[in-house]
Structure 1
Amino acid sequence: MADQIKKVATRESYGNALKELAEEFPDLVVLDADLAAATKTSVFRKAYPDRHIDCGIAESNMMGVAAGLSLVGKVPFVSSFAMFAAGRAFEQVRNSIGYPHLNVKIGATHAGITVGEDGASHQCNEDIALMRTIPGMVVMCPADDVEAKAAVRAALEHEGPVYIRFGRAAVPVINDRPDYHFEIGKGSIVREGSDVTIVATGICVDSAMGAAEKLAADGISAEVVSICTIKPLDEEIIINSAKKTGKVVTVEEHSVIGGLGSAVCDCLSANLPTRVKKLGMQDVFGESGSAAALVEKYGLDAEGVYKSVKEFV
């Protein structure tokens, strides 16, 4: 049955969304750093070659080019791997885009350990932490194809800098429902529960839902909160859920330092002191291996999350 679930890599969603939105947003231009085939901006380039700029392997310079384009009325979407977009070009993102609060969008693909065989050098588990620290930067990490496309549209409609994190590996489509609604800064309860709250982002939303099913079989009622926008965080949904359950577990394909878990802890320590367990990369680098094997090894699959939550509860 699991094999019949539709799976799409959110980097594919990114490329498709840019192409689909190009006519509606005539000022949209796309920049890439010699990685269009991997980031999937090649889909946009094929349809709108005059609105796609390959800046070469010069990510820091590309951020400056994007800043300039935004100042003449264009809405640039800058694309590269998360390790380069958030890591290598951090200074330019901070000083050339964040400080003047320019209308630049950053599409960072190949984030987290699901980059797989490319190994620790390319598995960026620090990008959410880095981007959260830049004043005024919106930070999003979509869970699936539906949410990724919605996030790209929301970024284009938002005035100001936005960072969106996309993945390399194909992941289950879980938001394909008629009542799905996306808004920057709003989370959603994807499963009601009363014993523990699982707050998840990105690919870990699917893992959290799978874990909740397993917990239910043990008589533990888990509420699953899906958070796409890590900044600004939907504090209300987290506080209300924590009030109900009294225990919170965060799950992310990112370091437990500075990411979703830290944002949730900041929120709860200030508003509703609650026990929190953070699941993610525990202050370690990743390693080379298949995406599935790595997600399992670091306890971020449904079974791993289930075991951690059960132990915590």
Structure 2
Amino acid sequence: MSLKPLETGKANLEIYSATLIELGKKDKNIYAVTSDSRGSGKLGPFGDQLPEQIVEVGIAEQNLVGVAAGLGSTGKSVFATSPACFLATRSLEQVKNDVAYSNIPVTLVGISAGVSYGALGSTHHSLHDVAALRAINNIHIVVPADNFEAREAVIAASKSNKPVFLKFGKKPMPHLPRKEQTFEIGKASVICEGTDVAFIACGETVAPAYEAARLLEEKGISAEIISMHTISPLDTEAIISSAKKCKAVITVEEHSVHGGLGEATAAVLMQNRIYKPFKIVGIPDEDTVTGSQVEIFNHYGICGEGLSQTAIELLG
């Protein structure tokens, strides 16, 4: 069965906003807290329709997390929204102590994640958040790949009894096909099955992996695409199953090659004695180039052509 071209949907942030409004209208305990991010977080409509359920703390990320933790401790379901590059650095101590270690079920929403800010440069790139948060006990890390996963992740987070970190980019996302229309935190989604090379990707890199699979299909190479939307807890069973049936494994992430999905996957493979050709594709340990997200992706081979070529070289 040939892989079809993808149709473009909305930005995941728009889905986040619409879903939060839907939930907030049904449950007055749903709160949004922002750090001067009402506009960039697409929460203007939420504030307009539910003005009693939004708190603006200004550009003060530590206060953002502290206020969210305080509200969460009273039984509120809180979504604390801030640029991912600042949320996982300026307020890391509050995330660790006030939310994770205190077991307050706050949802931390990192917006404009990865290299979404593009030309603003390295200060605004969020290539460290997963690495930092993976080292902290008691927080789920979820990176939705498309509108379906974005909506389901927000709903799941609103019901979670544990802290959650959600990552959203800025651009409209294509609708991905998937083997099953289900979503569960900690369970990967199979986009398409294959036997030659497995692409294990997360967030906005899943679509480029799918485009690579389409190019490889033209060359008679069968690619499996896994959307590893949850980085913690990691779906080790999906990694093992995919790696065992494929000849090579490639991880793809909009994150540093250090401390993210790639190294987590490598650890799973090594500890289970699965020795296959393996490659981590992400942002290397260097001064990141400046440009749009697409330009940066293309530069580092996070695109259909780049990933398909990586697969061909890995397969030999």
Whether the TM-score (by the shorter chain) exceeds 0.5 is yes
Pair 1:89 & 2:91 matched? yes
Which residue is 2:46 aligned to?
44
**Any stretches of 5+ residues in structure 1 without a counterpart?**
none
Please tell me the residue identity of whatever aligns with 2:71.
L
CA RMSD of aligned residues (A): 1.7
| Preserved contact between residue 250 and residue 260 of structure 1 (Cα < 8 Å) | yes
Please tell me whether residue 268 in structure 1 is matched to residue 260 in structure 2. no
Corresponding residue number in structure 2 for 1:13: 15
Q: Distance in 1 between matches of 2:223 and 2:275?
A: 16
Aligned position for 1:230? 231
1:29 aligns with 2:37: no
Which residue number corresponds to residue 259 of structure 2?
258
The alignment covers a number of residue pairs equal to 311
Q: 1:158 aligns with which of 157, 160, 173?
A: 160
Cα distance in 2 for partners of 1:8, 1:127 equals 24
Where 1:103 maps in the other structure, the secondary structure is coil
Q: Could you tell me the percent identity over the aligned residues?
A: 38
CA contact (8 A) 1:196 1:247 kept: yes
The question of whether the paired residues in 2 share the 8 Å contact of 1:33 and 1:79 is answered with yes
- In 2, the alpha carbon distance for the partners of 1:205 and 1:4 equals 12
CA distance change for structure 1 residues 4 and 202 in 2, over 3 Å: closer, same or farther? closer
- Contact map agreement 2:240 2:269 (CA 8 A) in 1: yes
Residue of structure 2 in register with 1:281 after alignment: 283
Shift of 1:258: 0.8
Structure-to-structure mapping, 1:1-313, within 5 angstroms: 5-175=7-177, 179-275=180-276, 276-313=278-315
Q: Give 2:52's aligned amino acid.
A: D
8 A contact 1:246–1:274 mirrored in 2: no
Contact 2:180–2:190, Cα closer than 8 Å, also in 1: no
Q: 2:196, 2:248 within 8 Å by CA — same for their partners in 1?
A: yes
CA distance in 2 between partners of 1:3 and 1:116 (Å): 26
Alpha-carbon deviation of 1:142?
0.3
Distance 1:80 1:285, change over 3 A: farther
| Counterpart Cα distance in 2 of 1:86 and 1:199 | 24
Query: C-alpha distance in 2, partners of 1:153/1:10?
Result: 13
* TM-score (norm. length: structure 1): 0.95
4+ residue segments displaced more than 3 Å: none
Residues 85 and 261 of structure 1: CA distance in aligned 2, closer, same or farther (over 3 Å): same
Distance 1:38 1:191 in 2: 33
- Higher mean alpha-carbon deviation, 5-14 vs 223-232, is at 5-14
Q: 1: distance between equivalents of 2:151 and 2:287?
A: 29
Q: Is there any run of 5+ residues in structure 2 with no aligned partner, and where? A: none
Kept after mapping to 1: 8 A contact 2:25/2:50: no
Report the CA distance between 1:269 and its aligned residue. 1.3
165-174 or 120-129: which moved more? 165-174
